[in-house]
Every structure is written in structure tokens, then in C-alpha cells.
A and B are shown apart, each in its own frame.
Chain A
Amino acid sequence: MIALLLGACGSDEPRVAQGNRQGILHFGNGTEPQGLDPHVVTGIPEMHVIVTLFEGLVTKNPHTLEPEPGVAKRWNISEDGLTVTFHLNDSAKWSNGDPVTAYDFVWSWQRALSPKMGNQYAYMLYPVKNAEAFATGEITDFSDVGVTATDAQTLVVTLNAPTPYFIQLMDHQSTYPVHRQTIEKFGNAFDRFTPWTRVENIVSNGAFRLTDWKLNRRIEVTKSDTYWDRDKVALNGVVFYPTENISTEERMFRVGQLHRTESIPLDKIPVYRAMQDSPYINSPYLGTYYYLFNTSKPPLDNLNVRKALSLAIDRRRLTETVMHGSTLPAYSITPPGTLGYEPPKVFEHDVEQARELLAQAGYPNGKGWPGLELVYNTSESHLKVAVALQQMWKDALNIDITLANEEWKVYLDTVDQMDFQMARRGWIGDYVDPNNFLDLFLCDGGNNSTGFCDPVYDDMILQQAPRATTREARYATFQAAETRLMEQMPIVPIYTYTSNHLVQPGVRGMSSNVMDWINFKYISLDQDQGTVD
């Protein structure tokens, strides 16, 4: 009776229950994608839509993240590790029925690498011979780049050096094939502006095809009937919603408008966690939250000050109280468990030692402390971390830290120009390998921003590690390098990111992994399930 009355008030069946019946996944996607051209856009919301529409040579197993067949049904790597041959699946089709060929890949990689495109992820292809030279304009003839199609089904790639993670990169959007005729029909193929990704124009090769795109409202993809593995695809479609405001997103989830949220407000975590059959999913993520020290400015040019600040932080207390246990304490830049790599732990929370170090630096019990400013970009969670740390430093070392929040773009400028003493930073891995974190702190690393420069460290990352013949040897080199890095403390690691989502009980096959990577092809909906109350 009550349900009837409510129904009469204009409240329909929740979208989620309807979706469960129709096989449509309603997906909270963060922000409105900038676009859907795999060679142009970079963000995570964009990626979510693009992986439904396109497929690379390989795709990832959502549990193990190991590569599995995509457009390529198999591949072999030569003995010296320098040549990779991909054998394409001859039933791989574009959404207009054209076959996906090795020639498509050669042309697409040329597009992805061509300097005019301004593709920020062009470097994903840099392990390929001469790819970097082509992308930076040093050479202009693409036939010198190490990729050729020997026939429609065979793609041969030549590498600069053995690259253990190369196959993994073949799942990155920057290496995806795009449909040449379509792109050329709607303008210059090497122009960022062409409207070829619009609903009425796009031709793609993924498990889904684009069927609706209303700006700032919804993007809808529908199961493709030309996809080679269509029998395995359980969903009939996915609808992506731009949900910039995380509180709004949580409310949409609560009334059954979304199957899955992109994030969850910090203070809602305890509420959802306490639920029976909690929809709250929390798992380690390939990213580290840290503060940058500007080692070229006093007082942080003093190693003892840097160490004192780092040792004085009670990371466990921070993550358990303020973050409600949604993140993990971090003591190194590389997150734990990146494909078997365990980062070294060279220090721990130790207030006594921190005080001693500060005294050695000339500020016994904070006496004579010149003051220190922490810059962070405006956000509630950054603010909370900063406020908690400010007090921890005050309690442990009796020193004052002033906080300064900046609007996002201003903050980026500040960090880029190293116009700060201490600044918040986060790094999310693009691929699962310690290299992706450790090469941040090379002397000329574009994201170094600390003034840290150690030739020995550079040599370990650039020369020794790539020459290692086994995974163990390579990881050992990385560990030695990371120990060296953390002993000089150009950054304070604070916590390891986790992915935090709310997922309705009817969703199956959305497994957690450190990339927070979703393979939509394996997702199904249980039509007997309702929504979370």
C-alpha cells in the first residue's frame, strides 16, 4: 500500500532494478569525458568509456591483470626479447563490419605518435624502436619506426631493448586501433579536432558501440553485434553519468540510480561499512599520496629536517581516524604488491628520533624554527590530511607549519616552478611496474619537482635495471634504488591510495585490482537483486 502511494507520487522503479532486468549497467563516471578519441584524451572517466568502445591487441584479466587475447589471438616474443609478433584474430571486426587488420594498427600507431596530435600518452609506445624519435619530430618517416604489418593478420614490432611490461602496454588506449576511413572522412586524420567520435560518426572495434552522448548528461553504449567475442558479453549496455559532486553521486546510489559510484565521501565510509552485505568496496590502488620537499630551499635543504618531519608522522593514526581506514600507511614511493615487487621500509614512526634529528638540525624542541608552508590544492580530503599532520608536527616537534590551499591550476603552476617549500602530490601508476614510480625522481624527471638529483640513482634506474636478466635481479636493483631514495627523503610518503566504490549487490564480475581496471565484457547483472537500502 505504501509502495503504491509512493509510486503514485511520481517515483518510478529505481533505475538500478530496471537495469538489472534489462542488462543495462548504470555507471557513475566522475566527470564528463573530454572526448572519446583514444589518441587524444587522458583521464580515467574517458578511459572507462573508451575501453568499452575499443579493444587493443591484448586486454587484461580483471583478476590477475595478466594480458589475455584481444584483437591478437596470440603473440610470441623472440629469444633476444627484441621482436614481438602479434597474430590477429581474423574474426575481429569494426562496428561497420570491416575486419580489423594489422595495417589498421600500423596506421593508428602512426597517428598516436605523430607530433601534431599532441598525444600525452605517446610515450606508451616509446619502447618501440624509433617511436620516440618520430614522436619528437627527429625523424619524419614512419617506416623507420619498428612496427610493420607483414600481412593483414600479422603485426611485427621491434623494440629498443627488452621490455618486460611491453605486452601490458598493448592494452593502453594510446595503442588502440582507430578506423582510418572514418577519421579521414571527418577531417584531417592528424588533427585533434575532428568530430569522428560523435555518435552519428564513430566506428569502433570494442565489445560495445556508442549509441547516445548528451554532454554533461549521459553517455550510452550498447552491446556490439560485430565484436568477435560477443557471446561472452553479458551486458546489453552501459550508461555513464558524469558525477562531479561526490555527495550527489552517493545520493544517486542510495536511491538506486547508479550501480556503481566512482568514489565515496570520506565520512560516509563508516556508515556503509557497517551495513550488512556492504556495498562499499575498498582495495589497494596503484598510487601513492605524498608531500614533496623542496630540497633547494631552507629549512628543507637539511636532510635531518626532512627526516624529522617524516618520522614524526603517525601514518597509522592518520589513516585509521581521519581517513576511516580507507587508505594504507605508506613508507615508500612504490605501492606494495606491484606485480610481486615489495618496496623497502627504511624508517618508521619514531617521535624520539624525530626530535633528536630536529635538534641536530639546529632546532631543539622547535627553537628557532623558521616556519614552513605546505601548499595543497583545494579539496576536502587534502585539507583533512594537512590539518591532522599540522597538529602532529606541532605535538611531536613543537614546530608550526602553515597551510596554504590553492586552486588546482594555480597549484600545478606552483609545483611546476618549485615555488614552494612543501607541497602535496599524488602519483597514480600508468602501468604495473616499479619503474613507473621510481623514474619520477630522475634528475631531469618532468615530475620530480623536489630538486633531488643523484647520479648513482639515475644510473641504477636507467642503466642497471633494464640490463637485469631476471625479474628478481631487476627488482633487487629497484629496491636498492628506492632505499637510496628514501634515505635522502626528498618526499614524505603518506599513504597508499585505495579505490573506493559503492557497488549494488546485483553487479557480478566487477573484480578489484590495483589498477582499478574494469573489463566490462565480464560484468553481468543479477536480475533478482534489488538495491541497497
Chain B
Amino acid sequence: MSTTSINALVDAEQGSSLWRDAWLRLSRNRPALAGFAVLTLFVLVAILTPWVAPYDYAQQNLELGATPPSADHWLGTDIFGRDLLTQIMYGGRISLAVGFIATAVALLIGVSWGAIAGYMGGRIDAVMMRLVDILYALPFMIFIVLLMVVFGRNMLLLFLAIGAVEWLTMARIMRAQVQSLRQQEFVEAAVSLGLSPLAIIWRHVIPNALGPIIVYTTLTVPSVMLLEAFLSFLGLGVQPPETSWGLLISFGTETMEEYPWLLFFPGLVLAITLFALNFLGDGLRDALDVRGAKD
């Protein structure tokens, strides 16, 4: 066997035990498990909504208008007399999809970009990070409006547009992490063993830098859901009668004194999602943090 293949084998073994240990630690973390359970439940409900929703989401009753929670409508109705619970369930389909997919896009681009820039350093790093600076500075709104004109309105573009802004900060955080990791012994050891830079980044650097990334990601998902409401305002995103949590919240805000339930329930659902994500995120970080575990 060549040295490289031995190394690969060792790596693979190390890798798998790292993940296994992490899973073990995670499964002992109650808040994290609870968070995971809540998110799974939300996703399940979102998937099953067309079959389990109590009402048709578009059906209006203008004469009924906005009514507080009642036996017929558990969470009340909106100004068109539509059932709020149904609206939240359908809104969840969009918001969860946007939240998770757009964040995943941002994560993928941001983490790879930041890791490569941070690891390579020097001129490559400078060019890559200045590109990030440029994208930061461009007027976002005009950018979105243009994207829409060029590509027309569709959901794919929505994911792309959100991913396109959110990856920038991810890249910065990742780069900072990688820069400090690069000096550490285990990376230098891997370099001296002759592993390719990409392999080192993927196997050694990224897993060790995941902590802050996970924390930032859990914060990103809810803000992405709210960003979607702004993009809908620009015309990208969902069109009525479809809705999303972000839209329900922004409409609810307008009438928070007259019809507080229209704000409270969508807000509550978003807050629960945020906390669930947070507990899960913290659990994941602790589980993956080798140093913390040794302590």
C-alpha cells in the first residue's frame, strides 16, 4: 500500500469515528433533540398540509372578515375571512422551503468560498475576499429588480437571490476560522503528509471550523424567512393568494392593534422555529467540538 492510501484509510476511520462520537453526544442532549423534534414536526405538517389543512386557503368570506380565535377557526380569520391556521400551514411550506434551501445554498457557497480563500491566503485570498466586498456594496434592491427583469419571477430565483446575499457573511466567518486553523499542528501535519489542499480543507479544516458556522446558520434561517417577505414586496417571491410566514407577519404588523391574533400566531410559529433551530444548533456545535468534549 502506498502512503497516500494508508493516510486516506486513517482519515476515513478518524472521520467516521468523529461523526459517530458527535452523534452520540448529540443524542444525549435533550434541548437539541427537542429542537430536532419540533422542526421535524413542522416539516411533516408542511408536507401534509394539502391533506390535513382544515380549510381551503384561498376561500374568502368577505362578510365574516377578521374574527378572533373560535371553535370554527382555532386561530381566527384574516380580513378576507380566510382561516388563519390554514394560512399558517400553507405559509410554512414556503417559509420552511425558503429558509432551509436558501440557507443551504448560502452555506454551500459561503463555506467553500471562505475556506478556500482562508486556506490559500495571499493573492487568491485577497481577490476572493475583495469580490465579497464588492457584492456587499452593490445596491441590493436594484440588483433584485434587475434579476427579475432578466429571469422573470420564479421561486428558483427567490432561493438564488437570498442565497446570493447570505453567503457573503458565511464566507467571511469561514475565512477567519480557517485562517486561525491553518496554523494548527494537525493541519500542518496533513500538509507534510502530502495531502492535496482540497482534501485538507474538506477533511480537516471545515469540520473543525463548523462551530461558528452552525451558530450563524441557525440565526440565518429566520432572517431569511423575513427577507422573503421583503422580496415579495419587490415582486419576487410568493403571489397571493399564496402566502408565507414573513408575509403574514408583515401584514399582521399593520393591524396589530385591531386584529392582534393575525400577528401573534405567525410570529409565535417563527419564534418557535428559531428557538428549535438554536437548540439544535448549539447541540450540534457542542457535539462536534472536539476540544470542548475533551474538557
Q: Within 8 Å by CB, do A and B touch in the complex?
A: yes
Most A C-beta atoms less than 10 A away, residue of B59, B235, B255? B235
CB pair B153 A387 closer than 8 Å: no
B239–A322 CB distance below 8 A? no
Contacts known (A322-B79, A387-B80, A387-B240); A378 close to B58, Cβ less than 8 A:
no
B295 at the A interface (CB under 8 A): no
- Whether A405 touches B235, Cβ cut-off 8 Å, given contacts A322-B62, A387-B80, is yes
A404 interface residue (CB < 8 Å to B): yes
Q: Are B240 and A388 in contact (CB-based, < 8 A)?
A: no
Residue from B59, B62, B80, B251 with most neighbouring chain A CB atoms (10 Å): B62
Q: Which of B63, B148, B240, B258 has the largest count of A CB atoms less than 10 A from its CB?
A: B240
Beta-carbon nearest neighbor of A265 in chain B: B254
Residues of A within 8 A of B234 (CB): 378, 407
Known: A322-B62, A410-B149. A267 touches B235 (CB 8 A): no
State the majority secondary structure of interface residues on B.
Answer: loop
Interface residues of B in 28-73 (CB under 8 A from A): 58-60, 62-63, 65
Asked whether any CB of chain B lies closer than 8 Å to the CB of A391, the reply is yes
Per-residue contact bits, chain A 371-409, to B (CB 8 Å; 1 contact, 0 not): 000000010100110111011001000000011111100
* Contact yes or no, B145 A321, CB < 8 A: no
User: Residues of A contacting B65 with CB < 8 Å?
Assistant: 321
Contact with A along B210-246 (1 / 0, CB 8 A): 0000000000000000000000111100011100000
The answer to the question of A317 belonging to the interface, with a C-beta cut-off of 8 Å to chain B, is yes
> Cα distance A41–B27 when bound, in Å?
67
Assess whether A321 is in contact with B258, with CB atoms less than 8 Å apart: no
With the chains together, A355 CA to B241 CA distance in Å?
23
Report chain B residues within 8 Å CB of A230.
none
Residues of chain B within 8 A of A436, CB atoms compared: none
Closest residue of A by beta carbon distance from B262? A267
Interface residues of A in 236-291 (CB under 8 A from B): 247, 265, 267-268, 270-271
Could you tell me if B239 and A404 are in contact, using CB atoms closer than 8 angstroms?
A: yes
Q: Which of B57-115 contact A (CB under 8 A)?
A: 58-60, 62-63, 65, 79-80
B232 to chain A: closest residue by CB: A405
B239 near A402 with CB under 8 A, answer yes
Contact B62 A267 (CB under 8 A): no
Query: How many B residues are at the interface, by size bracket?
Result: 20 to 34
A378 CB contacts on chain B under 8 angstroms: 233-235
Residues in A with CB closer than 8 Å to B232 are 405
Q: When chains A and B are docked, how far (Å) is the Cα of A265 from the Cα of B148? A: 30
**Contact between chains at A403 and B80 (CB < 8 Å):** no
Determine whether B264 belongs to the interface, using a CB cutoff of 8 Å to chain A: no
Docked CA distance A403–B247 (Å) = 15
CA distance A214 to B259 in the complex (A): 37
A322 to B257 Cα, complex, angstroms: 17
Q: How far is the CA of A270 from the CA of B259 in the complex (A)?
A: 12
Q: Are A383 and B240 CB-contacts (below 8 A) given A267-B258, A322-B79, A407-B235?
A: yes
Q: Are A404 and B80 in contact (CB-based, < 8 A)?
A: no
The residue that A388 contacts in the complex, of B80, B233, B255, with Cβ under 8 A, is B80
Chain A residues whose CB sits within 8 angstroms of the CB of B239 once the complex forms:
402-405
Within the complex, what minimum Cβ distance (angstroms) separates B7 from chain A? 55
Bound: A394/B149 CA distance, A: 29
Q: Verify A403–B62 contact, CB threshold 8 A.
A: no
| Contact among B79, B233, B254 for A247, CB-based, below 8 A | B254
Bound form: Cα–Cα A450–B47 in Å = 43
The answer for the CA separation of A403 and B258 in the assembled complex, in Å, is 27
Candidates B60, B235, B241, B251; contact of A410 at CB < 8 Å: B235
Residue in A247, A268, A380, A403 whose CB lies within 8 Å of B251? A380
Q: Which of B62, B145, B254, B257 contacts A380 (CB 8 A)?
A: B254
Q: CB distance A407 to B240 under 8 Å?
A: no
Q: Secondary structure at chain A's binding surface: helix, strand, loop or mixed?
A: helix
Nearest-Cβ distance from residue B215 to partner chain A, whole angstroms: 34
From the candidates B148, B149, B240, B259, name the one contacting A386 in the complex (CB within 8 A): B240
Q: Write the chain A residue with the least CB distance to B60.
A: A391
The smallest beta-carbon distance between A271 and chain B, in angstroms, is 7
Contacting B at CB under 8 A, from A398-456, are 402-407, 410
Separation of A321 and B65 alpha carbons in the complex (Å): 8
Known: A317-B62, A322-B79, A378-B233. A387 touches B254 (CB 8 A): no
Determine the residue in chain B with the shortest Cβ distance to A411: B235
Q: Judge whether A267 and B80 touch: CB under 8 Å.
A: no
For B250, give the chain A residue with the smallest CB separation. A380
- Expressed in whole angstroms, the Cα–Cα distance for A269 and B233 within the complex equals 24
Is A321 a contact partner of B240 (Cβ separation < 8 A)?
no
* A267 x B240 contact (CB < 8 A): no
Give Cα A378–Cα B240 distance, bound, in whole angstroms: 12
Identify which of A271, A321, A405 contacts B63 (C-beta below 8 A): A321
Taken together as a complex, chains A and B put the C-alpha atoms of A386 and B241 apart, in Å, by: 10
- The interface bits of chain A over 300-332 (1 if a CB of B lies within 8 angstroms of the residue's CB, else 0) are 000000000000000001100110000000000
A267-B254 in contact (CB<8A): yes
Residues of B within 8 A of A321 (CB): 62-63, 65
B232 to chain A, nearest CB (A): 8
If A265-B254, A388-B60 touch, whether A404 touches B241 (CB-CB below 8 Å) is no
How far is the CB of A350 from the nearest CB of chain B, in Å?
19
Contact at A403–B235, with CB atoms within 8 Å?
no
> Given A387-B240, A390-B241, A404–B254 Cβ distance below 8 Å?
no
- Roughly how many angstroms separate A383 CA and B59 CA in the complex, as a whole number? 16
Q: Can you list, as one digit per residue, whether each of B168-190 has a CB less than 8 Å from chain A (1) or not (0)?
A: 00000000000000000000000
Q: Are B258 and A322 in contact (CB under 8 A)?
A: no
Rounded to whole Å, the gap between the CB of B182 and the closest CB of chain A is: 44
Interface contact B233-A410, CB-CB below 8 Å: no
Q: How far is the CA of A388 from the CA of B149 in the complex (A)?
A: 27
Q: Are A410 and B145 in contact (CB under 8 A)?
A: yes
Chain B residues at the A interface, C-beta cutoff of 8 Å? 58-60, 62-63, 65, 79-80, 145, 148-149, 153, 232-235, 239-241, 251, 254-255, 257-259
In the complex, given contacts A388-B62, A404-B153, what are 15 additional A-B residue pairs having Cβ atoms less than 8 angstroms apart? A247-B254, A267-B259, A317-B62, A322-B80, A380-B254, A384-B80, A386-B240, A387-B240, A387-B241, A390-B241, A391-B60, A402-B239, A403-B240, A406-B235, A410-B149
Nearest first, the 6 A-B pairs at minimum CB distance are A321-B62, A391-B60, A406-B235, A267-B255, A387-B240, A403-B239
Binding site for B on A (CB under 8 A): 247, 265, 267-268, 270-271, 317-318, 321-322, 378, 380, 383-384, 386-388, 390-391, 394, 402-407, 410
Q: Could you list some 21 contacts between A and B, CB below 8 A?
A: A267-B79, A267-B258, A268-B258, A270-B258, A321-B65, A378-B234, A380-B251, A380-B254, A384-B80, A387-B240, A387-B241, A391-B59, A391-B80, A391-B241, A403-B239, A404-B239, A406-B235, A407-B145, A407-B233, A410-B148, A410-B149
